[in-house]
Amino acid sequence: MTKREKTLGWIFGVLLAVIGGGILFTTGIGKISEMRAQSRRLAERADELETVIRTRAVWEQRSEWITGAIPEFETAGKASAELISRVDTVTAQFGVEVEEKELLPEIEDESEGGYFDSAGLKIRVTGPDESVVRFLHALQQPAKFTGVTALAIEPSAGGLSCEAEIRQFYSRGGNE
């Protein structure tokens, strides 16, 4: 080999080593970054699990409370009857006029309705502003797991017209 061929060979070898080293370096940096990200995710997951373990007693107390506090009805019909009775009492108490009342279908899919069963009623009432607002406020009974889950209020000639969906959440069980 001539001197020129040897020089070209060295240049080619150095160039190949630089390119190969660069590729190895880049790959190594990528793997290190990936390992750090995975380590960070594992640390975050460990923190979440520690939090769950620390707050376990609180969540057990909440579960016991809700299991003891939520109303129990044997059937959806009994829950609906209780809800209708409560709504009738409140409408009479605040002097609002019922224009429309219909039972809502039971929510079958647990992912749509949550963990507990619910009886629903769609109602349209009209009345003076203050009476309608007080009526809605009286229907919201967190202690009895009753709430207004959808609401539309419009002005009307005599005050307000309100369409509301009211839900009574309950668990199926023995008598209340």
- The SS3 of residue 9 is helix
Q: CA 18, 23, 28, 30 torsion: positive or negative?
A: positive
Average pLDDT of adjacent 10-residue blocks, the chain of 176 residues: 88 91 91 94 95 92 89 89 94 93 78 73 94 93 90 91 93 63
What pLDDT was estimated at residue 75?
A: 87
CA of 167: how far to CAs of 27, 143, 146, in Å?
58, 13, 6
Selected from 3.40.50.2300, 3.30.70.60, 3.90.650.10, 3.20.20.70, the CATH number assigned to the domain covering 71-172 reads 3.30.70.60
What pLDDT was estimated at residue 67?
A: 85
What pLDDT was estimated at residue 54?
A: 94
Dist CA 11 CA 140 (whole Å): 83
What pLDDT was estimated at residue 175?
A: 43
What pLDDT was estimated at residue 176?
A: 40
